[in-house]
Structure 1
Amino acid sequence: MRRTRAAAAAVTASLLAAAVTACGGGTADSGAGSNAAPKELTYWASNQGPDLAADQAVLGPELKKFEERTGIKVKLEVVPWSDLLNRILAATASGQGPDVLNIGNTWSSSLQATGALLPWNAENFAAIGGKDRFVESAIGSAGAAGQDPAAVPLYSMAYALYYNKKMFQEAGVAKPPATWDEMVTTGRLLSKDGKWALGAEGGNLSNNIHQVFVLAKQHGADFFDAAGRPTFDSPGAVDAVKQYVDLMAKDEIIAPGNAEYAQNQSLQDFANGKTAMVLWQSAASTFKSHGMKEGDWGVAPVPVPAGGAPGAGRGTNSMVAGINLAVFKNTDNIAGSLKFVQFMTSDEEQRILNKTYGSVPPVKAAQSDAAFATEDLTVLRTTLGTSAAPLPQVPQESQFETAVGTAVKELFADAAAGRPVTTESVKAKLGKAQQQMAS
């Protein structure tokens, strides 16, 4: 077994310090550091379905298929999003982790900087059919520019505006809002009788980042400058965060209780008719799991600003969302791990898995299936191709998600408690987040 280099461990330690609460990594019998048998792999999958059991049910038959074809058994663990980053960071620090794992594509550069992940050079890409099989924008979110990717794309997603057709009809609203001004106007018509217009998840740090990243682009701002230095409290970034929190604090179209919501709680409210709209990535399968039927909801692009002064990226209305598949570099079963990645990114499996999860295959050939031409997925594919931007591919990206995501969470808590959310208070929170990055 090869140990993680000291320099890589130092980078990981700094990332761990910025993470919420480390949950511990793999144990001595759970991953690559355990002299895993050549005919066995450990795989950490992210929670893509409505709950962990749903993912077990989806992935179980596919992993059995892989075992039948290769003789390699896959030990699966589905890890909740609330734990996944900390589990990965702990594993990179200890050298005890799985052989193969899912990572949020926004973490690619941060995890790449640890040195713990297998680089996807030409030889490794050749083992899975070649780099050119994948959509270019998906590869662009797999690691820092100028370096071999740290992972390969598995599921591609984009944000969309989902809306409840029945609630819109009852409120006399003819169409979904296309601009943020329309969002507020429409939202006030829908926020009545104990129901609310828009769902949010103030306690979900990653989702907070995704929303304010898009709004910052629309305000002509980034959270990092060209040299990779944080610019969290720039005027455009401050305006973006304030605009998002003001949907609760000033516009009153998000329920105050959403300030504490975590992963998927806003989707449950939407499916149960408590909120009329939600901004989410590839949500159709989750809606169905909560009893909704095709046709109950509509889907439209995320709103953009109306008029106003032009700014860089004003038409951006989603981050390039998705899940990547990575291999721990110190695995004792490189050959088996490459076979598993080849299987999971094969045209056949890409159609099966992305169809089930309501995501878009990042493998070009798999997109030709008619299942990916639905109304929902057409909006997502168009967004990915025309108006989505990748989150900053910088080593500090995971720290950024924690620091700024927490700042937004705290501002939502202020809004829910009736405390004023001002330009000054937003700037102070973002300034504090920037100081945390520096330390």
Structure 2
Amino acid sequence: MRSIRAAAVGAVTMSIALAATACGGGSSTGGGSNDSPKTLTYWASNQGASIAIDKKVLQPELDKFKKQTGITVKLEVVPWSDLLNRILTATTSGQGPDVLNIGNTWSASLQATGAFLPWSTANFAKIGGKDRFVDSALGSTGAAGKDPAAVPLYSMAYALYYNKQIFADAGIAQPPATWAELVADGKKIEAKGKQVLGAEGANVSENIHHTFVFAKQHGADFFTADGKADFTNDGVVTAVKQYVDLMAKDKVIPVGNAEYAQNQSVSDFAKGKTAMLMWQSASANLKSQGMSDSAYGIAPIPVQSGTPGTGAQVNSMVAGINLAVFKNTDNLDGSTKFVKFMTSDAEQKILNTAYSSIPPVKAAQEDTAFNTPANSVLKNTLATSAAALPQVADESQFETAVGTAVKNLFADAAAGRAITTASVKAELEKAQQQMPAK
């Protein structure tokens, strides 16, 4: 296939070693093995409540694309637990798709492999121009000063979803704005026999997203200005401990959630088992599981004090999904047409409505369909109180290493082992030792 940098090889080795769900050689079609200009292989990320729901959302649109272009798109929806390892393996094996979804936080790491088509001005012109996309989404498409490694597809932000009936039964008039308020509300909710806050302790991606936000709220960063991993500074240690302490000390996250993986906390919330949920653009997911829009409210994720805003009042990472093309595709023209189709105004409205996400395409975002109360919270968060995860070459390794450290700490908390500053720092030190040497 192509040559890649040693750091990327380290990322493959480390990710496979850390993730038990690592897969083998990717798709048997697509990438270098696509022998027909009338077929494409597409790896979609699992955006809905299940893979079956994603197929139901996407297949009609892929059929529409075939009708317009004559190109058949072979779809595979890949769970988040597998996606990064599948992608990293494909960058070295040569067995991958033509087009794929990537978490926007991985953009700079995947860009560093050299495996993906750079979105130069000329390539952007083929899909209608770079200026069609909002700036916040473009900010998570690769390292600064380089052509983006991917194109924004879905924009999302975290919010606090709360069960209106459970809140009313507990005598809580409004959602918590600070963590102290959330813990205090938790005591009232538990007194009514309900669980407080859903989390997914075994979900590495969710772990890193939340601990990143806690770190920003403590004025901390995971990397130094020159790009070196700095996971054990006081601010990061305090932030990670505060998050895990929601289970270990504050008792608002159920201990059983230490073993939860993707979508399990959403399911509990949809069934009325938990009072609150921190999730990315969850409305469509909840609706697919039978929860009425009127049954829950949406508020910003709590901060340390005051209200969400700039600086230490960050309450979400800039969440989103980008669309990338493997540079070695044998169907570059068809792949470019597919990216143009998926990011067209019409498709952006359809797909982002289906997933309750925000279109990163300006014209689609301005559509009245995205002016709902839920979307107003998400759009305001993206505009005023969200921060992008580090766009550095080692970002995917960082997510895996620190997310796994938090997973281990949740397991300790669930087992009744003490969560101390020293134990948190020790886990983060182990994570830092797994990062490529600088």
Shorter-chain TM-score tier: over 0.9
- Structure 1: 4+ residue segments shifted above 3 A: none
Q: How does 1:22-421 map to 2 (within 5 A)?
A: 22-27=22-27, 29-192=28-191, 194-306=193-305, 313-421=311-419
Deviations 1:296-325 (A, max 9, x none): 000000111126xxx982111000000000
Is 1:12 aligned with 2:8?
yes
Deviations 1:149-193 (A, max 9, x none): 000000000000000000000000000000111111111111245
**In 1, Cα distance between equivalents of 2:363 and 2:220:** 35
Any idea what SS the aligned residue of 1:385 has?
helix
**In 2, Cα distance between equivalents of 1:405 and 1:380:** 24
**In 1, Cα distance between equivalents of 2:110 and 2:293:** 38
Task: Kindly indicate whether the alpha-carbon contact (under 8 Å) linking 2:310 and 2:384 is maintained by their aligned counterparts in 1.
Answer: no
Task: Kindly indicate whether the alpha-carbon contact (under 8 Å) linking 2:156 and 2:280 is maintained by their aligned counterparts in 1.
Answer: yes
TM-superposed deviation, 1:368: 1.9
Deviations 1:83-141 (A, max 9, x none): 11111011001111100000000110110000000000011000000000000010110
**In 2, Cα distance between equivalents of 1:91 and 1:428:** 33
Any idea what SS the aligned residue of 1:98 has?
coil
TM-superposed deviation, 1:23: 0.6
**In 2, Cα distance between equivalents of 1:182 and 1:293:** 26
Gaps of 5+ in 1: none
| Gap change, CA 1:205 and 1:333, over 3 Å in 2 | same
**In 1, Cα distance between equivalents of 2:34 and 2:209:** 38
**In 2, Cα distance between equivalents of 1:116 and 1:36:** 19
Gaps of 5+ in 2: none
TM-superposed deviation, 1:370: 1.6
Letter in 1 for 2:70: G
Letter in 1 for 2:8: T
**In 1, Cα distance between equivalents of 2:310 and 2:153:** 29
Any idea what SS the aligned residue of 2:43 has?
strand
CA RMSD of aligned residues (A): 1.4
**In 2, Cα distance between equivalents of 1:381 and 1:346:** 20
Letter in 1 for 2:110: L
Deviations 1:233-282 (A, max 9, x none): 10000000000000111111110000010001000010111110011000
**In 2, Cα distance between equivalents of 1:312 and 1:174:** 26
Letter in 2 for 1:204: N
Task: Kindly indicate whether the alpha-carbon contact (under 8 Å) linking 1:44 and 1:77 is maintained by their aligned counterparts in 2.
Answer: yes
Any idea what SS the aligned residue of 2:228 has?
coil
Any idea what SS the aligned residue of 1:295 has?
helix
TM-superposed deviation, 1:195: 2.2
**In 2, Cα distance between equivalents of 1:423 and 1:45:** 39
TM-score by length of 1: 0.96
Letter in 1 for 2:289: H
Letter in 2 for 1:380: L
Letter in 2 for 1:320: V
Task: Kindly indicate whether the alpha-carbon contact (under 8 Å) linking 1:163 and 1:278 is maintained by their aligned counterparts in 2.
Answer: yes
**In 1, Cα distance between equivalents of 2:310 and 2:349:** 35
TM-superposed deviation, 1:36: 2.8
Q: 1:434 aligns with which of 424, 432, 435?
A: 432
TM-superposed deviation, 1:24: 1.3
**In 2, Cα distance between equivalents of 1:35 and 1:83:** 23
Any idea what SS the aligned residue of 2:102 has?
strand
Any idea what SS the aligned residue of 2:297 has?
strand
Letter in 2 for 1:162: Y
Any idea what SS the aligned residue of 2:42 has?
strand
Deviations 1:313-340 (A, max 9, x none): 2111000000000000000011110000
Task: Kindly indicate whether the alpha-carbon contact (under 8 Å) linking 2:237 and 2:421 is maintained by their aligned counterparts in 1.
Answer: yes
**In 2, Cα distance between equivalents of 1:152 and 1:435:** 32
Task: Kindly indicate whether the alpha-carbon contact (under 8 Å) linking 2:157 and 2:317 is maintained by their aligned counterparts in 1.
Answer: yes
Q: 2:421 aligns with which of 420, 423, 439?
A: 423
Task: Kindly indicate whether the alpha-carbon contact (under 8 Å) linking 2:219 and 2:312 is maintained by their aligned counterparts in 1.
Answer: yes
**In 2, Cα distance between equivalents of 1:269 and 1:312:** 32
Task: Kindly indicate whether the alpha-carbon contact (under 8 Å) linking 1:220 and 1:312 is maintained by their aligned counterparts in 2.
Answer: no
Task: Kindly indicate whether the alpha-carbon contact (under 8 Å) linking 1:404 and 1:430 is maintained by their aligned counterparts in 2.
Answer: yes
**In 2, Cα distance between equivalents of 1:270 and 1:194:** 15
TM-score by length of 2: 0.97
Task: Kindly indicate whether the alpha-carbon contact (under 8 Å) linking 1:221 and 1:312 is maintained by their aligned counterparts in 2.
Answer: no
TM-superposed deviation, 1:194: 4.5
Task: Kindly indicate whether the alpha-carbon contact (under 8 Å) linking 1:217 and 1:312 is maintained by their aligned counterparts in 2.
Answer: no
Any idea what SS the aligned residue of 2:275 has?
strand
TM-superposed deviation, 1:367: 1.1
Could you tell me the percent identity over the aligned residues? 68
Any idea what SS the aligned residue of 1:314 has?
helix
